Each structure stands twice: as structure tokens, then as C-alpha cells.
């Protein structure tokens, strides 16, 4: 019988990559003799699958998105030895529970700072890091004033505390603001656990190649495990992620050092992290910070490229005060690719089964089915499919991923609202 208990905040209702994170966490924690208690909202627990529930030993109904509800629950002194989450909207409640129970965790004020993007940028500026100029707005007039002061553009309009590219727009001028604000105000199921905020951000656009840093803080020191090269649409929706990043050695070292210093500057002292960044002609510019691992199966890339690494087991060891195992060296390559069906009613998907059976495919999830109405691309939750490939070297991956994606065909036709007929191959 395990002698320690780990509380997992938000263990059901995940996208495919979140489910895979929970699976790996469960396996790695149980190998360490840890009992897992899953905490989630009553609604999520009622709709949980048998597979969801198999990853934990017990469950507790808790509003895992609201700090005060979690603080009140923690005040009952539940028998918990460590607490963590893989869910963005639960990082602050997780920190609150850790603080209330005297467990290892991040300072809730630091987590709140990271979740509120303008506050994070301000702290980084104060510490000497280059950052885009940012305005917090609650109306179009405020935004127009910022645009006039910071031209010629472009600019990014985004939520203060969003995720998954929800409500994010790139604009060239004031004429595009109304559409951007309509997008910002559109309801989102992913953000529905939190109250809608009237505030949005307008930022000057950073021109550079996009990457992210994946790692873990051990004994107070950030360990950057990998840098990820990413490709995105004009609407900032990720289309692929790849490790290793392909950066030259000097830029790689600079990015790692910048990320580590940035984490210390904003006050993050525990846990897995995912930090977005740009490589620009003038250096590294840090983007959004996350006190949890990256989505989009990035965790699978990290573990595949470092054979033998147990990312979540390492986190569990650290939270419990145990000495983590040595971090394995990087030795392989991996990437994740997303597929996009054209808008319309989906009639058929061809080639998916062949993709799934390929020996280089580490994970795959088809997120649409025949009969579904495919909406226009809006955010990361409107992508149609995802697959992860692994290889011994990066040279093998690009061509392989292109061939596999090109073999999948989405056959769509006009729906009742007149979306045009389309047939898409994912080249």
C-alpha cells in the first residue's frame, strides 16, 4: 500500500494530449508507490470515462478552477502529501492548495502574475528583459489610442489570461479592431470555468521565429530539457512542433539561459514549465509563461527525445522531497503535426488508419468524424487531427511527417449554411 498521496487537480475531460499526460503521470507515480487522488468538478466527474478513473485510486469533487473554493477545501486538512496539475486553468488553485497545506509548490502570487500576461510582461521589463509594448484595454477607444501611439503595427489583440489561441487576432490597423474584439468576446467552452473578463490586451507584434522551452525546476534551479521549434497559422494556431529545435549552439544556449533567468525573475520555483519565445535579429524575446507542461503532445516529444526520462515521475520526486533520478541526455528526435479539414460537413476521412499503423507514429488522435460540421479555423480546439512521430534523427522526420499527413484526405461538402464543397489533402 502506498504511503504517500498525490492530489491531481483536473484529471478528466481532457483533450487527447491531456489524457496522455495523465496516463504517464499515473504510471510513473504508481511506480514510485504513490496513491493518486483525482480532483475535478462534479460535472466532469459525472461524465468521466472508465479510462479516466482508472488512472487514479480515488476521486474528490472540487471546483478545481476557483482558488477560494480550493482554499476552503484545503482548510479541512485533507491527507495530501503533494499536489500538481497539468491543466492551465488549475495552476493557481493548485498553488493555493499547496500554500494552505504547507506543501511544495509555487507562490500563488507568482502564479497569478504568470497567468495575467501583462503583469508577467511588466515584471520581465523591470528585470531588464526586452518585451513587446502592452496596453490593458476595456474598450475600442483605449485600443485605438494605443495603436496611434505605437504605430505602424502590426499588433496582437488577446485575452489577459487566455490559452490555446482563443480570442487572439493579428491586426494591421484600427479598421480591424471591431472584428478582433468580436473574436475576443466570443464564448469559449475551454474558458467557461472562469468568469468572462472585460479586459483585453493589445501588444506590439514581435517579428521572429517562434520556439518554446520545456523543462522542470529542480531544487530551485530551472532545467531546460528541450527547445521546441513551432509552426503556426496567421491566427497563431500551432500546426507543428519539433524537437530538437535546429537552433545553432550559441542561440540554443542563449535561449536556455534567458528562459532560466526569466523564470527566476517572475518567481517560479517549482514544477514543469512551458515558456514561449521568439528568436529575433536582436536576440531572444520571452513570450507567455506557463506553470505546467506544454499542450499539443509536447510532453511526448520531451520524453521520446530523452530516452528513459520520466518527466512526471521526476516532478513527483521533487514535490515529495525525494532525490530525482539523473536526467537522461537527449538522443532522438520527435515532432507533432496537426491536420485541418476544410470547412463543411465531413463525408469521409481516408488514410487515417494507415497513418496510425505506421511504426514511427507514437500517438494519434482524430478529432472529427463523418457527419460533423467542420467550422473555420478559430483556435487550437478546432483542429481536426494530430499525430506524433519519432525517429533517431531530425533528418528523418520532416519528410516522414509530410508523407504521412499527405496520405490523409478529408472529404467535406457544403453544409446547410452553404459552406462550399471541399476535398483536402494535408500536404
Give 135-152 pLDDT, tens digit per residue.
999 999 999 999 999 989
3-state DSSP assignment of residue 351: coil
How far is 24 from 397, CA to CA, in rounded Å? 24
For the chain, percent helix, then strand, then coil, each to nearest 5? 35, 30, 35
Report, in angstroms and rounded to the nearest whole number, the Rg of the chain calculated over CA atoms: 21
How far is 57 from 251, CA to CA, in rounded Å? 44
Contact 366, 349 (CB under 8 A): yes
Instruction: Work out the pLDDT band at 416, boundaries 50, 70, 90.
Output: low
Would the pLDDT of 351 be above 80? yes
Contact 371, 345 (CB under 8 A): yes
The pLDDT value recorded for residue 197 is: 82
* Grid cell digits, residue 423: 476535398
H/E stretch holding 146 reads helix 140-150
Would the pLDDT of 417 be above 70? no
Instruction: Work out the pLDDT band at 223, boundaries 50, 70, 90.
Output: very high
Round the average pLDDT of the chain to a whole number and report it: 93
One-character DSSP codes across 186-202: S--TTTTTSPPPS-EEE
The pLDDT value recorded for residue 379 is: 67
Which positions ≥6 away from 341 have C-beta within 8 Å? Answer: 349, 368, 374, 384, 385, 410, 412, 424
Question: In which residue are the cell numbers 521565429 written?
Answer: 209
Would the pLDDT of 426 be above 60? no
Instruction: Work out the pLDDT band at 421, boundaries 50, 70, 90.
Output: very low
Which domains are delineated in the chain?
Answer: 4-103 (3.40.50.20), 133-204 (3.30.1490.20), 206-331 (3.30.470.20), 337-425 (no CATH)
H/E stretch holding 5 reads strand 4-9
Would the pLDDT of 380 be above 80? no
Q: How far apart are the first and last CA of the chain?
A: 51
Task: Please state, in angstroms and as integers, the Cα–Cα distance from residue 339 to each residue in 162, 214, 313, 342, 409, following that order.
Answer: 23, 23, 31, 10, 10
* Grid cell digits, residue 263: 523564470
Instruction: Work out the pLDDT band at 161, boundaries 50, 70, 90.
Output: confident
How far is 199 from 342, CA to CA, in rounded Å? 32
- How do residues 184-222 score in pLDDT, each as one tens digit? 888 777 667 777 788 999 999 999 999 999 999 999 999
- How do residues 92-121 score in pLDDT, each as one tens digit? 999 999 999 999 999 999 999 999 999 999
H/E stretch holding 87 reads none
Contact 147, 155 (CB under 8 A): yes
Amino acid at each position: 500500500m502506498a504511503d504517500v498521496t498525490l492530489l491531481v487537480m483536473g484529471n478528466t475531460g481532457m483533450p487527447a494530449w491531456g489524457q496522455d499526460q495523465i496516463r504517464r503521470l499515473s504510471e510513473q507515480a504508481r511506480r514510485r508507490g504513490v496513491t493518486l487522488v483525482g480532483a475535478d468538478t462534479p460535472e466532469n466527474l459525472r461524465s468521466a470515462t472508465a479510462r479516466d478513473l482508472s488512472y487514479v485510486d480515488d476521486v474528490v469533487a472540487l471546483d478545481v478552477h476557483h482558488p477560494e473554493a480550493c482554499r476552503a477545501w484545503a482548510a479541512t486538512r485533507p491527507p495530501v502529501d503533494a499536489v500538481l496539475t497539468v491543466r492551465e486553468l488549475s495552476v493557481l488553485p493548485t498553488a493555493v492548495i499547496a500554500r494552505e497545506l504547507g506543501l511544495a509548490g509555487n507562490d500563488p502570487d507568482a502564479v497569478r502574475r504568470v497567468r495575467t500576461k501583462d503583469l508577467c510582461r511588466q515584471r520581465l521589463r523591470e528585470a531588464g528583459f526586452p518585451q513587446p509594448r502592452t496596453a490593458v484595454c476595456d474598450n475600442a477607444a483605449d485600443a485605438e489610442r494605443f495603436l496611434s501611439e505605437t504605430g505602424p503595427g502590426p499588433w496582437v489583440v488577446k485575452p489577459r489570461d487566455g490559452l490555446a489561441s482563443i480570442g487572439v487576432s493579428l491586426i494591421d490597423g484600427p479598421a480591424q479592431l471591431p472584428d478582433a474584439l468580436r473574436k475576443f468576446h466570443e464564448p469559449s467552452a475551454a474558458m467557461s470555468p472562469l468568469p468572462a473578463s472585460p479586459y483585453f490586451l493589445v501588444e506590439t507584434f514581435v517579428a521572429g521565429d517562434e520556439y518554446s522551452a520545456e523543462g522542470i525546476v529542480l531544487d530551485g534551479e530551472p532545467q531546460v530539457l528541450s527547445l521546441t521549434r513551432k509552426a503556426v497559422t496567421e491566427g497563431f494556431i500551432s500546426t507543428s512542433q519539433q524537437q530538437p529545435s535546429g537552433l545553432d549552439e550559441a542561440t540554443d544556449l542563449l535561449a536556455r539561459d534567458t528562459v532560466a533567468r526569466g523564470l527566476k525573475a517572475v518567481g517560479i520555483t517549482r514544477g514543469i514549465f512551458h515558456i514561449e519565445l521568439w528568436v529575433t535579429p536582436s536576440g531572444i524575446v520571452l513570450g507567455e509563461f506557463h506553470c505546467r507542461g506544454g499542450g499539443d503532445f509536447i510532453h511526448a516529444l520531451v520524453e521520446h527525445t530523452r530516452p528513459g526520462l520520466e518527466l512526471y515521475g521526476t516532478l513527483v520526486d521533487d514535490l515529495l522531497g525525494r532525490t530525482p533520478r539523473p536526467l537522461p541526455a537527449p538522443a532522438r528526435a520527435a515532432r507533432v503535426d496537426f491536420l485541418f479539414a476544410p470547412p463543411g460537413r465531413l463525408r469521409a476521412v481516408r488514410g487515417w488508419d494507415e497513418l496510425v499503423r505506421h511504426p514511427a507514429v507514437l500517438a494519434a488522435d482524430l478529432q472529427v468524424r463523418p457527419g460533423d460540421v467542420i467550422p473555420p479555423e478559430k483556435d487550437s480546439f478546432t483542429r481536426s487531427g494530430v499525430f506524433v512521430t519519432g525517429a533517431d534523427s531530425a533528418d528523418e522526420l520532416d519528410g516522414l511527417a509530410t508523407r504521412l499527413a499527405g496520405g490523409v484526405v478529408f472529404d467535406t461538402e457544403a453544409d446547410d449554411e452553404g459552406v462550399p464543397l471541399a476535398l483536402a489533402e494535408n500536404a
